[in-house]
Amino acid sequence: MTDRPSYYITTPIYYVNDVPHIGHAYTTLACDVLARFKRLAGFDVMFLTGTDEHGQKVEKSAEKAGVDPQAFCDRVSERFRDLASAMNYSNDQFIRTTEDRHKKAVQHLWKELVAKGYIYEDKYAGWYSVRDEAFYGEGELIDGPDGGKVAPTGAPVEWVEEPSFFFKLSAFEDKLLALYDSQEDFVLPKSRLNEVRSFVKGGLEDLSISRTTFSWGVPVPDVPGHIMYVWIDALTNYLTAIGYPDTNSETYKKYWPANVHMVGKDILRFHAVYWPAFLMAADLPVPQRVFAHGWWTNEGQKISKSLGNVIDPFALIESHGLDPVRFFLLREVPFGNDGDFSERAFLIRCNADLSNNFGNLAQRSLSMIFKNCDGVVPTPGAFSDADKAILNAVEGLLPVVRGHMDRQAFNLALDAIWGVVGEANVYIANEAPWTLKKTDPERMATVLYVTAECVRQLAILIQPFMPMAMEKMLDQMAVEGRGFDTLGEAGRLKPGAAIAQPQGVFPRFEVPAEGAA
């Protein structure tokens, strides 16, 4: 099928100076859920993640570890691949900026910017944060704990003076503001767009895009001693993965411009200001959207190594299971806001929504079918108004959920789905098939058919969030077609089809008493 619409979604590429944490897991999870949703909707999806492996911070981390930078990158990058596997991400590519194809792409982009007159040589003198890999103006610095100045992120800064090539970022103020006005969803959430617009309106200075004081990076073409600043290097990965510099390649033509660049709010400026400016300068289309999500805290505290409260996604999966973790991270907090991870909130949420609500709905209805209908989907009679109402509710979910997903409002999509889960539980309680078993077996068969059909459609919609759990649930019902084209009447359960003996797919967690250690 070649006429499927394309969809290109990217994570930021993760910096390899440290091991993966919950923030990395969260960003890529959001992209994975969106990629899975689009595939089920019939899209030809390209989902990209990877690692950013150049820069002074990596060079210093490798030196501290006593290994050469490439060996250091190889080791840490593998941990991010391990995370992708542990979280059951469905990424189509994993890119590394140390790959030859990437060096070729970024050097080509550099030459394009030189040819178009947007790069010039000068000397850089200013404040630089190794930890942030970012330059800061004097006015952006804040007072640090020891009385000195630090970056707005709290990172240490050092005064740097060196020869540098500059990108004429100042030439793009009006073009960027016009972009934000014409493409009003270019940055979401809206509050982040306001921040970006305000930053650009405050005036843009030309951007230093090469360094000479360290050597771990992509060499500037034809200029010995200069390596590219990590952000022009890193951002170009989104083009590298789809065949750039061959803009006539099938993959480039199919997937560019990207539909969504998903990023943490700390790197929004690089993606919503610098990146579109580089692309405009090279006469390349800009992405359709940059979505900047918030940060997680742990039990109300900022996550930091010094506090010892870093949330290890591998440990979380080991202790609680993968799909409950995937569900909680996107259910608990409006996507785009900051969120707090609390063990107690996690256990309560998963018990309430998964075990008690959806799990109970599926277990009750499928167990009754298995025991009372010879283990096959029953033949329904004529549908009552109550039957039609709940079927209409579940069959009306897709456009609602799609609207939320297209704006990356994952929690609202789950709210809509769980609203119908609740309605289905009310329906089965009201109809009481366990009573009808004695008084009206034919009506019981209809009620169980309707609830099983609700479970089927809900499970298909929930697949992007919890693929393994929903695969088990749909397997028990022997459901074959699982794309969104099977929602509604088109894919309804066939009476007489055998189902497997139902087994719960969601664990029930023990919740410690409030205040217990």
User: pLDDT at position 154, please?
Assistant: 87
Would you say residue 60 lies in a domain? no
pTM: 0.94
pLDDT band at residue 14 under the 50/70/90 scheme? very high
User: pLDDT at position 305, please?
Assistant: 61
User: pLDDT at position 450, please?
Assistant: 98
User: pLDDT at position 138, please?
Assistant: 85
What's the number of domains the chain is made of? 1
If you average pLDDT over every residue of the chain, what do you get? 93
Would you say residue 504 lies in a domain? no
The total of other beta-carbon atoms located within 10 Å of residue 432's CB is 12
User: pLDDT at position 124, please?
Assistant: 84
Alpha helices in 151-298 (DSSP H): 173-182, 190-201, 230-235, 237-240, 250-255, 268-269, 275-281
Which residue, among 30, 12, 21, has the nearest Cα to 335 in the 3D structure?
30
How many angstroms separate the CA atoms of 281 and 166, rounded?
13
- Note the pLDDT tens digit of each residue in 314-341: 888 999 999 999 999 999 888 889 888 8
User: pLDDT at position 1, please?
Assistant: 42
- Note the pLDDT tens digit of each residue in 211-267: 998 899 999 999 999 999 888 999 999 999 999 999 999 999 999 999 999 999 999
Question: 12-21, 383-392, 445-454, 496-505: which range is least confident on average?
Answer: 12-21
Would you say residue 300 lies in a domain? no
User: pLDDT at position 8, please?
Assistant: 98
When computed from its CA atoms, the radius of gyration of the chain, rounded to whole angstroms, is: 26
CB 132 within 8 A of CB 155: yes
Would you say residue 476 lies in a domain? yes
- Look up the CATH number of the domain holding residue 416: 1.10.730.10
Overall average pLDDT of the 468-480 stretch = 96
Backbone phi and psi for residue 29, each to the nearest 5 degrees, phi listed first: -60, -45
Has residue 307 got a pLDDT over 70?
A: no
User: pLDDT at position 336, please?
Assistant: 84
User: pLDDT at position 513, please?
Assistant: 78
Overall average pLDDT of the 442-451 stretch = 98
User: pLDDT at position 515, please?
Assistant: 62
CA distances 494 to 23, 350, 497, 502, Å, are 43, 31, 6, 18
Which residue, among 23, 251, 194, 221, has the nearest Cα to 110 in the 3D structure?
221
User: pLDDT at position 132, please?
Assistant: 82
Backbone phi and psi for residue 72, each to the nearest 5 degrees, phi listed first: -60, -45
How many angstroms separate the CA atoms of 418 and 404, rounded?
14
Overall average pLDDT of the 162-187 stretch = 96
Has residue 460 got a pLDDT over 90?
A: yes
How many angstroms separate the CA atoms of 55 and 58, rounded?
6
As separate numbers, helices (DSSP H) first and strands (DSSP E) second, the chain gives 21, 18
Give the percent of the chain with pLDDT over 90.
80
Overall average pLDDT of the 59-65 stretch = 90
User: pLDDT at position 516, please?
Assistant: 56
CB 240 within 8 A of CB 102: yes
More confident site: 309 or 411: 411
Which residue, among 425, 442, 428, has the nearest Cα to 372 in the 3D structure?
442
User: pLDDT at position 298, please?
Assistant: 80
User: pLDDT at position 340, please?
Assistant: 85
Which residue, among 114, 93, 230, has the nearest Cα to 166 in the 3D structure?
114
CA distances 180 to 4, 6, 167, 195, 270, Å, are 29, 24, 21, 11, 15
User: pLDDT at position 299, please?
Assistant: 77
More confident site: 359 or 341: 359
Has residue 2 got a pLDDT over 60?
A: no
CB 434 within 8 A of CB 441: no
User: pLDDT at position 427, please?
Assistant: 98
| 417-423: long-range contacts, CB 8 A cutoff, minimum separation 24 | 417/458, 417/461, 417/462, 418/353, 418/357, 418/358, 420/393, 420/394, 420/454, 420/458, 421/353, 421/357, 421/358, 421/361, 421/458, 422/357, 423/390, 423/393
Close Cβ partners of 496 (under 8 Å, ≥ 6 residues apart): 376, 377, 379
The total of other beta-carbon atoms located within 10 Å of residue 216's CB is 23
Would you say residue 167 lies in a domain? no
User: pLDDT at position 145, please?
Assistant: 84
Would you say residue 464 lies in a domain? yes
Would you say residue 259 lies in a domain? no
Which residue range is the domain that position 471 belongs to? 359-491
Overall average pLDDT of the 343-351 stretch = 93
CB hemisphere CA count around 372 (13 angstroms): 24
Question: 46-50, 131-135, 152-156, 422-426: which range is least confident on average?
Answer: 131-135
The total of other beta-carbon atoms located within 10 Å of residue 178's CB is 11
- Note the pLDDT tens digit of each residue in 76-120: 899 999 999 999 999 999 999 999 999 999 999 999 999 999 999
CB 359 within 8 A of CB 505: yes
- The DSSP code sequence of 11-62 is PPPEETTS---HHHHHHHHHHHHHHHHHHHTT-EEEEEEEEE--SHHHHHHH
